[in-house]
Structure 1
Amino acid sequence: MDELLRQATTVLRGMWRRRWLAIVVAWVVGVASVAAVLIMPDKYEASARVFVDSQSILRPLMSGLVTQPNVDQQVMMLSRTLITRPNVEKLMRMADLDLKIESKADRDALAETVMSTLKINNTTRDNIYTITYRDTEPERAKRVVQSLVSIFVESNLGDARKDTEAARKFLDEQIKAYEKKLEEAEARLKEFKLRNLSSQGPEGKDHFAQMSQVSTQLEQSRLELREAEQSRDALKRELLGEEPSLLPDVGRESTVGVSIPEIDSRLDALQRNLDGMLQRFTDRHPDVVSTRRLIKELEERKREEVVARRKAALSNPTTSVSVNPVQQQLKISLSEGEANVAALRARVAEYQARYERLKAEATQKPQIEAEFAQLNRDYDINKKNYEQLVQRRESASMGSEMDNTAAADFRLIDPPRASPKPVAPNRFLLLPLTLLLALAAAVAVSFAASQIRPVFFDSRSLRDACGLPLLGTVSLLADEARKRRERKDLVRFAAACFSLVGVYGAGLVALFLLSVRTA
């Protein structure tokens, strides 16, 4: 700690020896900096405020139906990217800033100056944007702000619309590509179905379900064939072995096995009609009662007709057998039985062939089904992507139309206006800073001079610097004349310092009075 204090004391004493150099430097730097501040041109600020209304009644109504971009975010991004080189060059032409430009270097320098001076500030909550620009001429500053406001309003999310058109173009290209893929997939699926037409089951049933169904139908057909053959054989036995007993007794009134076509057809129709009515009405319904009465009358009539035919057969025995209606009915039934047996045999043969074919195809069916599943999967994926792309294209189209109808509204709240008084430079702030700058320069110069030509003020510093033993020191005894000279020198130095500060103070007072008078 003592060493630090000793070094600081040594440095301060060295700087004190160069005090007149420091005061000269302070005056020179102060005068130069004050002159620089005074000759700085006044700058006037022009400003304008723009409100962007991004709310529209269509947006909540069309929510979920169309693709809606974030208009607030787009406007904010537009405000941040508005001050670009192309826009600034356009602004320079609109505000006539390039009339006196003769070279490309001057144009670039002016563009950089304008880009660094233009400011766009916004309040995110209210969507109000403030555009400011400073220039030495108020009218020119006003023209620059007016031009930038025009560019800001005319842009009106044009870049966002370009993005929408690019998105629609991309979607159209993808839709065409997927249309081609769908056509190819449909062609492959059609070719596969035509190639394996015989192995395709009805109603989406698989191969083993078809085999089970055909096997069930085959067993049912065989059972029906056996029943038909038994019925046919019984009819044959009755016709060949018991023909004399086919003629029934006249006294019997049974009509079983006797067919009278005109009466039987009417009975069948009435019976079906009765069955339909019993499903809807009760037994006491008038229609049901009437139908049953008609059926009873027809059965009675048929019984009378059978009795009449039996009496005719008994009166003419020679033709009883040939014209016996019962025998004729049995022959007809036998013919029908033969035809039924033949039909059932054909059905059994067909079901047997189907079962054998399905059994032979069972080994190839898994490969066919796997290929069909793969084709369906590819087709379903392409179809799903195609439908989604078409839906998004329609959504983008509706969104573009909605943007044209309900685009963001730019409203000029405060028109461009230049301040009547200069806003820069702030000389009341700069002049004290120049004083501080002058004092700092004086301190730095005195310190540098003391370090360039150092002076030893004690024996210890000399011994440490030269590294030699010090035998002793000789002190200087100042007389009265030297002391007077030192006091006068101190007074002159203090006067120089106070005069520097006083000149600055007088200058600030004069500047204040001048500004008050001009106001």
Structure 2
Amino acid sequence: IKYEADNPDLAKNVVQAVLTVFSEQTQLSTMAGADTAHHFIDRQIQEYEVRLRNAEKAKENFMRANLGMLPGQGSNQVEQMHTMTVTLQDAKLILDEAISRKQALKEQFDEALVSNDEEWGVLADQQSTIEDEKIAGLKLRRDDLLIKYTANHPEIAHLNKTIKELEKISEKKRAKQAEAGGLDSSVMTNPYTQSIKIALNEAEANVASIQSRVNVLEKRLELAQSEWNTRLSLETEMQNLNRDYSAIKKNYEQLLSTREQASLSKKVDDQAESLKFKIADAPDKPLLPSSPAKPIMDSIVLLVGVVSGFGVAFLIYLIRPTVMTTAQLRQLTGLPVLGSVSMKINDLELKKNKKEPFKYGLCTFGLIVIYITFMMIDILHIDVSSLVKLLQRIH
């Protein structure tokens, strides 16, 4: 313990008083401070226990609500999305190829229909004539029977039924002919046309299958990208929860460790009869001042004095400028200078000017002597008061 003052006796008395008060109050303040610190730590531990439970519950709820989407769960989703993208591109390429093949088969089928239109038309007319001839023959036979029998005769009823069935068959064939572009199904018995039609049907089925696969892959890729964005958001939120939980847990563990140390300290204090306070070194009065450093301060004072002198002279020169040469006057006024007149100095002023350098040198020498004297006193630790008394005795 130290105290700085202008008087060394005052500094010693202050230190002695502080030691006296400290020795008297140390025991009571130490015990009271230990109890206060122990209660404060207990309150902090209770508060952090509540915060730690809340953080653990928040982590538990978050993990339960986002099971399967947390970091480290599931396979490598980035690699899966890359694989899906490559597979989707391959499927689209296969789809384009299948569509091109379907279009080529359709063009071949249209060309075959056009080239065989006349042949298929004759076959269709023949087929329609056969059906009509059968119906016409049955109707003639029915008319002959009606001459002999009534309309309820079994053979006439059978003929009516057969005629109706043939008419239905004829209507169905005409409908199929309309669907086939005006051609009957018999026209399709051509092997070349059948092979093209079968290939075209297979191509259409293949296109539909590949298109369905492309749609499924696109939906899976969109779902994977959505899950990836969700996973990134959940990962950030999980990191925040873990960071808060780690900070709370770390502080809680530090408080538990501090409480154990405080409990051990309190047990040690309880076993001791009283706190012993001993002064190892009594207060003393220093022989030399602690600050400031006199040699450095004397040097700084000398330097500040010299710099201040030059600064004042320069300031006077700025306030009251003096023209020293004709060139300076010409530059300052901007007018031509025709000539100059020298100053006429009398003998009295000449003697006065000669004494100025001597006075300046004498003052400078005196300043240096004073500086050296103070430096010697500070370095050699000479007691100025004793020196003054000695000079008075000699006088």
Instruction: Give the structure-1-normalised TM-score.
Output: 0.27
Structure with the larger helix share: 2
Higher relative contact order (CA 8 A, sep 6+): 1
Structure with the larger strand share: 1
Instruction: Give the structure-2-normalised TM-score.
Output: 0.34
